[in-house]
Amino acid sequence: MTTQRTLCIIKPDAVERRQQGAILQRLLDEGFRVLAMRQALISRPQIEGFYAVHRERPFFNELCTFMTRGPVILLALEREDAVQHLRNVIGATDPAKAAAGTVRKLYGSNVGENAVHGSDSDENGRIECGYYFSGMDLV
């Protein structure tokens, strides 16, 4: 196992419910180091670029509308095996199918409004941290 970077986004549904503090504490308790953190209102072009891999999917428009409806918390995280560990901690995409105790089970509402994003590979972890943070922001 090696040290990796991964991007977590606390999505608008969780921020609206004031759950960003509880989710951040969970990430800290799981051993992630916060390299950078920022609240942001993501623009439509920015989120369309971020989720470009999904642009042909039927839920793409709904996803982009959701992700831009209010502030999110962007987190560049570092840890041993960070990508897989974050995926384990957040759980399955659909909160109804997520394991007990996972962030999406605890805080997600449905397959679209599922509280958090986590990168899905080592390469995407680096790309996604770079999408929202410059190298100078990472400490």
Residues annotated as part of the active site: 117
Give the closest residue to 25 by CA, choosing from 135, 125, 92, 106.
106
Cβ neighbors of 9 (< 8 A, separation 6 or more) are 67, 72, 73, 74, 75, 116, 117
Residue 50-69 contact track with ligand ADP, rule CB under 6 A, x = bound: ----x----x--xx------
Task: Find the binding residues for Mg ion in span 91-120 (CB under 5 A).
Answer: 120
Q: Residues 3, 43, 88, 93: which binds ligand ADP (CB under 6 A)?
A: 93
Does 6 sit near ligand ADP (CB under 6 A)?
no
- Going through 25-103 in order, the beta strands assigned E by DSSP cover 33-40, 72-80
Does 111 sit near ligand ADP (CB under 6 A)?
yes
CB of 120 to Mg ion, least distance (A): 5
